[in-house]
Structure 1
Amino acid sequence: MATRRFHVWFLKADERTLRISLMEFCYQLRLHYEQQWSNNATVRSWDHGPTGQLPPEFCVLEFPPSQTRSMWTYATCCMSQANDKNPIEIHLFSDVQANAHVELLTVIAHYHRTGKQLGLGHTVNFGRPWLPGSECDHGLLSLPYLDGPNLEFFETPQFTKTVCCLWLVPITAAEANYARCNGLEALEEKLEESRFNYLESQRPSVV
């Protein structure tokens, strides 16, 4: 019995060490975002649905418009975990502040953690319009072209692998189907050719 208690004590000690490590990871990731975007974040959360299945440290960071950027930015924090094969975090830009963005990123993080793990080039079905009246009801996980490698690659002692910070671009169902059939680059070329406004929720489909 004494041996069993001793074993359990060590397990709890390991769990405490892991929890502290994850808390430090979240802190460092938040600093990474804040330094890249030269802005301070507000911690947001979505408490509806099975959010208890997400890591306890998970949250969504909200960045208001600043002198250098006139848009709102929402980013996941602790969507990735240390044992992930390809750890990722995602962020979304919008011209409006909305709880819908917090909900959306939380739902996607839940799918990533409990369903199929996502990665670069994947599309996701929002299950609703991005914002009211929008044809964009899907999302594309793309490279963070607005910020480049300095934002994309995040390294921390808590993880043995580099965390990739990907841009969630709202797209239409037709665009998502086009990407599945023709590949990420083909859709990105279509979007670039049309000079689409990634902040415009009411934009028409480019395909």
Structure 2
Amino acid sequence: MYKKKVISHYAEIWKSKGVGINFAKGPVSDLPKEFSVLEFAPRANRNMWTYATCCMSQESDEYPIELHMFSPEKSEEIVEIMVATAHYHRTGARLGLGDSVNFGKSWINESKCEYGLISLPYLDGPQLEDMEIENGKCVKFFWLIPITQREVEYKKINGVENLEERFEAAEFNYLDPIRTSVC
């Protein structure tokens, strides 16, 4: 039931149907059996690939979240990053808005972005961000933005809001794997 709600939520907001990607590497057995990463191909109103978790959280979680990431290209590397992030969320520390995640590798190819920032879904707004479920709970859908180590360090010292202001001032291209740090 929860999985169908999440899939429907993405489809309603993005006006597109995601394809579940089968990823069998690593400790995927530690994830909920319903877990998958959905891949959304580019379309007329969105010229980029989108990867989104489905059932990273469970309906019974106190603060359920799902994450998505954008890419200029189709990428199994991003699927692996989403699986690893979901695994950390389930077995390490619960993730939330403003947290950063160490990917342990480049986002894409030679990118200096080896971390992710859990941010509000600025491109889609509150329509994507909030999905109500039973018992008055709300699932939060957040954007996992690839960032550099310098940006993580800046965030730790100056806070998420200041880092996001830097992104805005620099008009950073979140789809450019070889972009320079804004810090």
TM-score > 0.5, shorter chain as reference: yes
1:99 aligns with one of 68, 76, 85: 76
Which residue of structure 1 lines up, in the alignment, with residue 89 of structure 2?
112
3-state SS, counterpart of residue 51 of structure 2: strand
Which residue of structure 2 lines up, in the alignment, with residue 166 of structure 1?
142
Question: Which one-letter code corresponds to 1:109 in the other structure?
Answer: A
1:104-141 CA-partner distances (Å, limit 9, x unpaired):
00000000000000000000101011011100000000
Question: Which one-letter code corresponds to 1:136 in the other structure?
Answer: C
1-structure distance, mates of 2:64, 2:161: 22
2-structure distance, mates of 1:108, 1:160: 26
Unmatched 5+ stretches in structure 2: none
3-state SS, counterpart of residue 171 of structure 1: strand
Contact 1:94 / 1:199 at 8 angstroms: preserved in 2?
A: yes
1:68 aligns with one of 45, 70, 73: 45
1-structure distance, mates of 2:89, 2:22: 17
Runs of 4+ in 1 over 6 A off after TM superposition: none
Which residue of structure 1 lines up, in the alignment, with residue 167 of structure 2?
191
2-structure distance, mates of 1:40, 1:32: 10
1-structure distance, mates of 2:76, 2:158: 33
3-state SS, counterpart of residue 156 of structure 2: helix
Contact 1:140 / 1:170 at 8 angstroms: preserved in 2?
A: yes
Aligned residues: 183
TM-score by length of 1: 0.86
2-structure distance, mates of 1:180, 1:122: 10
Question: Which one-letter code corresponds to 1:126 in the other structure?
Answer: F
2-structure distance, mates of 1:70, 1:152: 21
In the TM superposition, residue 63 of structure 1 has moved relative to its aligned partner by: 0.3
3-state SS, counterpart of residue 9 of structure 2: helix
Percent same amino acid at aligned positions? 49
3-state SS, counterpart of residue 80 of structure 1: coil
3-state SS, counterpart of residue 56 of structure 1: coil
1:127 matched to 2:104: yes
In the TM superposition, residue 160 of structure 1 has moved relative to its aligned partner by: 4.6
Contact 2:2 / 2:58 at 8 angstroms: preserved in 1?
A: no
Unmatched 5+ stretches in structure 1: 1-23
3-state SS, counterpart of residue 127 of structure 1: coil
Which residue of structure 2 lines up, in the alignment, with residue 57 of structure 1?
34
Q: Which has the larger radius of gyration?
A: 1
The answer to which structure has the higher helix fraction is 1
In the TM superposition, residue 46 of structure 1 has moved relative to its aligned partner by: 1.6
Contact 2:38 / 2:54 at 8 angstroms: preserved in 1?
A: yes
Question: Which one-letter code corresponds to 2:169 in the other structure?
Answer: E
In the TM superposition, residue 55 of structure 1 has moved relative to its aligned partner by: 0.2
2-structure distance, mates of 1:104, 1:46: 11
Which residue of structure 2 lines up, in the alignment, with residue 15 of structure 1?
none
2-structure distance, mates of 1:128, 1:32: 30
1:179 matched to 2:179: no
